[in-house]
Amino acid sequence: MELTHSLKTLFIETARTLKGPARRLFMARTTRELGPGGQRKAAAELGWNRETIRKGTHELESGVTCQDAFGARGRKKAEELLPNLLDDIKGIVDSQSQTDPQFRNQRLYTRLSAAEVRRQLIAQKGYSAEELPTATTIATKLNLLGYYPAKVAKSKPKKS
């Protein structure tokens, strides 16, 4: 089968609009229609990955759809790697935090910076510097727990 410019454009645009298993099945059916050497021809002329075409062909022949494991990709959260981290952060920061002196909101302000919390985790809780996340990550975890590192202002008396 000869691929004209209009057919190439049609195949490429259709494959671009589809996602996941539907895209792989489309690629497998298209290369099957191209006949012998269809995978190589599709890879060369349409720019498709041959591994994707093979996976789609396997799905088409077996009838079993392969699941994409997008959730298994990427870096794990610090809480998953260190299960006691959030509890240890709470233990350190609770004694150094207070509510807003004017009671305008429910935020807890703490005198400790994220870098200081990290140093105290190493000194008090026995973590090593290599296993702990960076100070930026600890700052994010502090915000997640509801602590906001800031200088704690004393309440000022009203002027009459």
Q: What value does the mean pLDDT of the chain take?
A: 86
Q: Which residues pair with 147 in a beta bridge?
A: 108
Q: 54, 31 in Cβ contact below 8 A? A: no
pLDDT in tens, 80-97: 889 999 999 988 888 777
Q: Which residues pair with 26 in a beta bridge?
A: none
Report the share of the chain in percent with pLDDT over 70: 89
- Taking residues 119-142, what's their average pLDDT? 91
User: 79 Cβ partners below 8 Å, 6+ apart?
Assistant: 85, 86, 141
One-letter amino acid for residue 130 of the chain: E
The answer to whether residue 147 scores a pLDDT higher than 90 is no
Of the candidates 131, 121, 130, the one whose C-alpha atom is nearest the C-alpha of residue 91 is: 121
The answer to whether residue 98 scores a pLDDT higher than 80 is no
Q: Helices in 20-150 by DSSP H: which ranges?
A: 20-34, 38-46, 50-62, 78-81, 85-94, 114-125, 135-145
pLDDT in tens, 37-49: 989 999 999 999 9
**What pLDDT score does 118 carry?**
93
**What's the rounded Cα separation, in Å, for the pair 125 and 94?**
15
Identify the band that residue 160 occupies on the pLDDT scale cut at 50, 70 and 90: confident
